[in-house]
A and B are shown apart, each in its own frame.
Chain A
Amino acid sequence: MAVEQQAKAIHFVRLKLRLTRNGLRGQAWRIVLFIFGIFAGLWAALGGFALFTGAGVAGGDAGLVIVTFAGAGLTLAWLLLPLLFFGVDETIDPARFALLPVPRRTLLRGMLAAAFVSVPALATVVALLGLVLGAAVRDGAAAAVVAGVGAVLGILTCVVGSRALTSAFASMLRSRRVRDLAAILIAVLASSVAPLQLAVSSLIAHSDLDRAGQIARVLAWTPLAAPYAAYVDVAEGRLLSALVRLAIAAAAVAALVAWWWSTLESATIGTASGARSSSSASDKKAVAALFPAALRVLRPGRFSGLVAREWRYWWRDPRRRASLVSLMIAGVVLPMVMRASVRVDQSRMPLPVAVAFSALLAALVLSNQFGTDGSAYALHLLVGVPGRVELRARACALALLMAPILVLVTVAVAVLTQAQSQVLAALGVVAAGLGIAAGTSALLSVLVPYAFPESTNPFAVSGGTGGLRGLLAVVGSFAALVLLAPLLVFALITHGLVAGLVVLAAGVGWGGVGLLLGTYLAGGILDRRGPEILAAVTPRR
C-alpha cells in the first residue's frame, strides 16, 4: 500500500500559494495592496530588463560598468533591504515543520522553491532575462548561455543570501549574549551603504567612466557582480576568466546554502530562547521595578507607567530593538552622508535639510505601534485606557529616547562639517519633524494597523504586508514632509542668530501642535475603534 508519499518541493510551492490566497481572502485592502505590489514588481522587472538588455547591446566598457553596477546593486538590495526596511516574507515558517518527517534536504529545496514564488523574485527573474537577451543579441549563443548560467547563479545568490542573512540575524537577536554584537553588525551593514552611495554619486557627478570602469572590474571579481559580468568575458574571448567568475558565483551560492542550512537546522530544532537571567528574586518593589533608572524621576501613574513600559519594550522586544537600532544608525549616518556628499549649487546640503529626515524617520517608527504590540493591546482595552493618553505616552517615550540622540547628532554634524551657524535652525527643524511625524504616525497607526506574525524573527512580516509596510512609510514620510516644508523653507531663507532662535521656537511650537493635534484626532478614533484595531493587529492563526 502506497500510503506514504514523499514530500516534494512542489508541495511547498503549493502551500505558499494556498497560504497567500487564504491570506487575501475577504480582505479587500490586502487584495488592493497585493495588486499594487504586483504592479510595482512589474515596473521594476521591466526597468531592470531594459537596463540589462541595453547594457548587453551597448557592450564595451559602458556595458560592463552598467552590468556590474546593476548586478551588485541588485544583490545588495536583496541582502540589505529586508534587514533595514521590508522584512522577509515568513509565509512558510520552517519551525512549523519541526514535527513532520521531512528530510532537511527536501525542506531546503522546498523553502527555496517557495521563496521564488514571490513578487520580488519573479521580478528579478524577468529583469535577468534581459541579461540573456542582451548577450544573445550582441555576442551570440555562447555568451547567451554563460549569461543564462550567470543569471541563475545571480538570483540564487540574491534569494538564498537574503534568507540566510535574515534568519541568521533573527537567531542572533534572539540570544541575549550576542545582541550587542548584532547591533554592531547592523551598524556595519548600514554604514557600508553610505560609502557606496558616496562613490556612485560622485562618479555620476563627474561622469568619470575610467574610474567607474576600474571599480566595475574589481566588483566583477566579487560574488556581488561576478555572475553578471561573466558573459562579457565570453564576448571578448576570455573563456577561462568567464568560467572563473561563474565558479566564484557558484562557490558563493554554495556557501550561502550551507549557512542557510545551518540556520534552518536551528530553526527546526526550535532553539529555546537563550536562558534568561533569573537571578535572585528582586527585592525591589513592583512599581519601582517597572521604571527604568532614567525614568525614576517621574511620578508613578497611568501616563508614566505607559512611558516606562514603552521604554522597557523598546529594548526587550526583538522586533522593536531591531528597528530602534537601525533607526539610530540611520539617524547618525544619514545627515553625515547628506552633508558630505550631496551638493546643491556647489554648496553643501544645508544642515536643517540634512537632519530633517533623521527626525522624520525616528518618529515614523510608530506608524504601526499597535501592530508591534500585537494582541497584548487587549490589556489596554480591558482596562479602558483613554486613546489620547495612550498615544501621547507612546510618543513621549519615543521622544525621550530619540530626542537626545538627535540633538547630539545635529550638534556633532554641525561641528564636523563647519555649520555651527545653522545649529539653532536645525534643532528647530528636528523638534518640528519629531512632533509632526509622531502625530502623523499616531493617525496612521489607528487608521491602518496591521499584524505581524507571532514569530521570534524580528524581520518577519506576514504574506502581503511587506508592501504595506513600505507603502505606509512612504505615505507617512511624505505627509510629514509636506507639513514640515514651511518651516524648512523658512529655515533655509533666513540666516543669523535671531532667525535661528525664531526657527527653534517655531519648530518646538509647530512640532508640539502637530503632536497634540495628531494624537487628539487619532485618540478619538482609537476610543471608537479599539476592538477593530485589536482584531487587525491579532495575528491570524
Chain B
Amino acid sequence: MDSALVLRGLVKQFDGLTAVGGVDLDVPVGSFYGLLGPNGAGKTTTLSMAVGLLRPDAGAVAVLGHDVWSDPVAAKRLLGALPDSVRMFDRLSGSELLAYVGLLRGMDPSVVDARAAELLDVLGLSDAGRTLVVDYSAGMKKKIGLACALLHAPRLLVLDEPFEAVDPVSAALIRDILHRYVAGGGTVILSSHVMEVVERLCTHVAILAGGQIRAVGSLDEVRQGRRLEDVFVSVVGGRVATGAELSWL
C-alpha cells in the first residue's frame, strides 16, 4: 500500500452541468500534493468528494486503503480536512471549538486539553482568548480550521485553499507545520491557485481544469524545466487578452 489517497473515476454533476468529469488521482504516502486549477475548475468539488462531504455520481475514494463511502469510520479516523466552503461551529471560542472537535472524535479529554492548548499557542491564537470564532479575521479562521483538522493527528491532511487570506507570517508558520508533518510520515494534499505556494511546497502536482486532470506527476515532471506558471497557463488554455482591450481605462 503506497497511496494515501486514491480517487477513481470521480464524477459530479450539478443541475446537468459537469463540475468534475472523471478524475483519477493517486497521492503517494509521504507526498506533499498540490491540486492546481483556475477558479471553477472543480477543486473544491473534488476534495469535498474525497473527504465524504459530497456524494459522487460515480467513482470511488480510498484513504489509506479504506473506502470513504463504504467504510467511512476507518477512513475518517485517518483523515483530517480543512474544507473551504463550509462554516465552522463559529459561535464557540477557539478552545471551545477544539474541545468540541476532540470530544466528537472520541479523544480522551486530558489529551484534548493538552493538544488544544499547544495548537492555539503554536498558531498564535491564544491571545484571542474567549473571542468567538465568528469574530476572528479570515486568516485566524483558516488557522483554527487547520488546528481542528490536526487535532486527532491524522495520517492524511486534505486542505482546501489553506493559504487564502492568510498573512505572510502566518503562511510561513503553516508551511513550517506542514513541512514537519510530511517529514514525520504524514501526507498532505492541498488545493490552490497560487503558483508560488505550490512551487515552493509541493513534491507532486496535478492541474485540474474544466473538471478534468490536465497534467499530473511530480513537480519536475510537470514543469519540464519551465516555470510552473507557464505550464499552468498553457495547460489551462492561456490568456487571450493582449492588452489592446479596455483602452478606455
> Using a Cβ–Cβ cut-off of 8 Å, how many residues does chain A contribute to the interface with B?
47
Interfacial chain A residues near B245, Cβ < 8 Å: none
- By beta carbon, the residue of chain A nearest B117 is A286
How far is the CB of A395 from the nearest CB of chain B, in Å? 17
Interfacial chain B residues near A535, Cβ < 8 Å: 54
**Top 4 A-B pairs ranked by shortest CB distance?**
A305-B103, A281-B129, A286-B116, A375-B86
- The reply to whether the CB of B36 lies closer than 8 angstroms to some CB of chain A is no
- How many angstroms from the CA of A277 to the CA of B131 in the assembled complex? 7
> Are B85 and A375 interface neighbours, CB within 8 A?
yes
- The reply to whether the CB of B83 lies closer than 8 angstroms to some CB of chain A is yes
How far is the CB of A172 from the nearest CB of chain B, in Å? 18
Interfacial chain B residues near A282, Cβ < 8 Å: 93, 95, 129-130
- The reply to whether the CB of B96 lies closer than 8 angstroms to some CB of chain A is yes
- The reply to whether the CB of B99 lies closer than 8 angstroms to some CB of chain A is yes
> Are A317 and B91 interface neighbours, CB within 8 A?
yes
Of A286, A313, A374, A382, which is within 8 A of B99 by CB? Answer: A286
Interface residues of B in 61-83 (CB under 8 A from A): 72-73, 76-77, 79, 81, 83
- How many angstroms from the CA of A290 to the CA of B96 in the assembled complex? 5
Interfacial chain A residues near B210, Cβ < 8 Å: none
> Are A287 and B127 interface neighbours, CB within 8 A?
no
Known: A273-B135, A286-B113, A381-B53. A279 touches B129 (CB 8 A): yes
> Are B91 and A379 interface neighbours, CB within 8 A?
no
Interfacial chain B residues near A306, Cβ < 8 Å: 103-104
- How many angstroms from the CA of A287 to the CA of B95 in the assembled complex? 8
How far is the CB of B194 from the nearest CB of chain A, in Å? 22
Known: A375-B87, A376-B89, A378-B53. A281 touches B103 (CB 8 A): no
Interfacial chain B residues near A281, Cβ < 8 Å: 126-130
- How many angstroms from the CA of A282 to the CA of B94 in the assembled complex? 11
- The reply to whether the CB of A538 lies closer than 8 angstroms to some CB of chain B is yes
> Are A382 and B95 interface neighbours, CB within 8 A?
no
> Are B91 and A313 interface neighbours, CB within 8 A?
yes
> Are B135 and A276 interface neighbours, CB within 8 A?
yes
> Are B87 and A374 interface neighbours, CB within 8 A?
yes
Given contacts A281-B128, A374-B87, A384-B73, 11 further A-B contacts (CB under 8 A): A278-B129, A282-B129, A286-B112, A287-B112, A290-B95, A300-B109, A302-B103, A305-B104, A309-B100, A531-B55, A534-B54
Write the A296-331 contact mask toward B (1 if CB under 8 angstroms, else 0). 000011101110110011001100000000000000
- The reply to whether the CB of A289 lies closer than 8 angstroms to some CB of chain B is yes
> Using a Cβ–Cβ cut-off of 8 Å, how many residues does chain B contribute to the interface with A?
48
- How many angstroms from the CA of A105 to the CA of B54 in the assembled complex? 44
- The reply to whether the CB of B148 lies closer than 8 angstroms to some CB of chain A is yes
Q: Could you name 9 residue pairs across A and B whose Cβ atoms are closer than 8 Å?
A: A282-B95, A286-B98, A286-B99, A286-B102, A309-B89, A312-B91, A382-B76, A382-B79, A384-B77
Of B92, B105, B116, B127, which is within 8 A of A383 by CB? Answer: B105
Write the A232-245 contact mask toward B (1 if CB under 8 angstroms, else 0). 00000000000000
How far is the CB of A40 from the nearest CB of chain B, in Å? 28
Write the A364-387 contact mask toward B (1 if CB under 8 angstroms, else 0). 000000000111101111111100
Known: A278-B128, A282-B95, A286-B96. A376 touches B87 (CB 8 A): yes
> Are B93 and A287 interface neighbours, CB within 8 A?
no
> Are B92 and A309 interface neighbours, CB within 8 A?
yes
> Are B81 and A382 interface neighbours, CB within 8 A?
yes
Of B93, B134, B148, which is within 8 A of A289 by CB? Answer: B93
> Are B51 and A382 interface neighbours, CB within 8 A?
yes
How far is the CB of A295 from the nearest CB of chain B, in Å? 12
- By beta carbon, the residue of chain B nearest A535 is B54
- The reply to whether the CB of A26 lies closer than 8 angstroms to some CB of chain B is yes
Interfacial chain A residues near B87, Cβ < 8 Å: 374-376, 378, 454
